[in-house]
Structure 1
């Protein structure tokens, strides 16, 4: 292990909040909670805060979450943001990357080790999202460059085919499922050189029989009706899934012990 961490703070949007690894009743676990559990196994005195809120864009994370994170004096911070920006019609890669770099600079300047992420290509998950491929590539390149300038560790989710295997994603194709969150926690553990943090998370799943053209068309139609339509309606009304919500773990505390078993990697 290359560092000893006592205060871990997670910043971001719905992925870091933990959707859809759990539910509104039991709460959402997610990869950051899973990572905190792994860190606790190594450092029992670890305290963990998760400031992420669904629906937030990078500017929100910077203005709402960064000041709180700095006040907690973390020695480890993860920053996963940008997907909500990519999905907006008006996407400014320079501005989004600028918000991320400002966070990198502030957090590393305060002495924290920072972990950032590139994003998998949405076009490989959703055929209708192929128009986002170019902007995703641009975004990822800017994240890598900003991270390099500030000594930030990058978990590069754009280079491993497993990251766009739909079996790691919920039915909405926007949020990871329990298996996906488990893999992402393992990816960060590997980047941090934690004990047992091997690169097994990159291993592909068993081959899957390819569905017929008609079945694929039906799946795409149901997905559009169930998820795209409601999302477009919220956007038209100027609403966000995160309206009225606050962070699930706004202060540092021991990591929660979840009783349910992890899915198989």
Structure 2
């Protein structure tokens, strides 16, 4: 499959949050994937990233899906639901049904969809057992229909490597640079555009290897609870990282 135009939709995971480079700009697995697509094919790839941190699946469907389809790419990576399953009254079945609708819409437009799950933070975050149960349910639902539709599903949730705190940011909710590199490798192998192991060990500013002390709860958990109570989101007022296509050339492999 020739890929000349690639668009990512989703939340902070697809935006690249946790893998910040110069001036706090998020890079992440989608940027790495775009660079590898250009390198493997030997030509420029047009790349857009409509993902915005904090977005739930409903907002991704409303704000990003149809825009991405209208831009007529060859490939759309779809991610979402992580922010939904952290809410107490949202079912994995409903989130899965929305992802299924998105995949079908992309297919109907003649575009290749790749559904990419987030990684599993349950081993490093507070209330990890609850997240594990909900994430397992969502992953099982998506696997079922992805297999039936013959849609590629990148199961980062089930990647045992990503349970280790060395791959997570200090906030324990987002992958760091090393974690994003593993996800990029998983997608690269699924698309058969490389072995996924060619990136050097990316330097990460923080990891989730330490213990959850008072500073962690004050700096990360408290503000998160505050946003939930007031109906705010970390993505409020943010525009997409790359709302229009930008050219990625083979020489951008280091991203």
Could you state the TM-score of these two structures normalised by the residue count of structure 1? 0.84
Determine the structure 1 residue equivalent to 2:13: 15
State the 1:103 CA deviation.
0.4
How many Å separate the matches in 1 of 2:120 and 2:180?
Answer: 17
Determine the structure 1 residue equivalent to 2:32: 34
Cα 1:173–1:256 shift into 2, 3 Å:
farther
Cα 1:260–1:157 shift into 2, 3 Å:
closer
Which runs of structure 2 are paired with 1:1-265 in the superposition (5 Å)?
A: 3-22=1-20, 25-43=23-41, 44-197=43-196, 216=211, 219-255=212-248
| C-alpha RMSD of the superposition | 2.4
Q: Which runs of 4+ in 1 moved over 3 A?
A: 118-122, 256-262
Q: Between 150-159 and 19-28, report the one with greater CA deviation.
A: 19-28
Unaligned 5+ segments in structure 2 are: 200-208
8 A Cα contact 2:15 2:49, kept in partner: yes
8 A Cα contact 1:7 1:48, kept in partner: yes
How many Å separate the matches in 1 of 2:48 and 2:153?
Answer: 21
How many Å separate the matches in 1 of 2:102 and 2:31?
Answer: 21
Cα 1:60–1:108 shift into 2, 3 Å:
same
Larger Rg: 1
Could you state the TM-score of these two structures normalised by the residue count of structure 2? 0.87
Q: Between 39-48 and 169-178, report the one with greater CA deviation.
A: 39-48
State the 1:118 CA deviation.
3.4
State the 1:57 CA deviation.
0.7
Determine the structure 2 residue equivalent to 1:207: none
8 A Cα contact 2:44 2:249, kept in partner: no
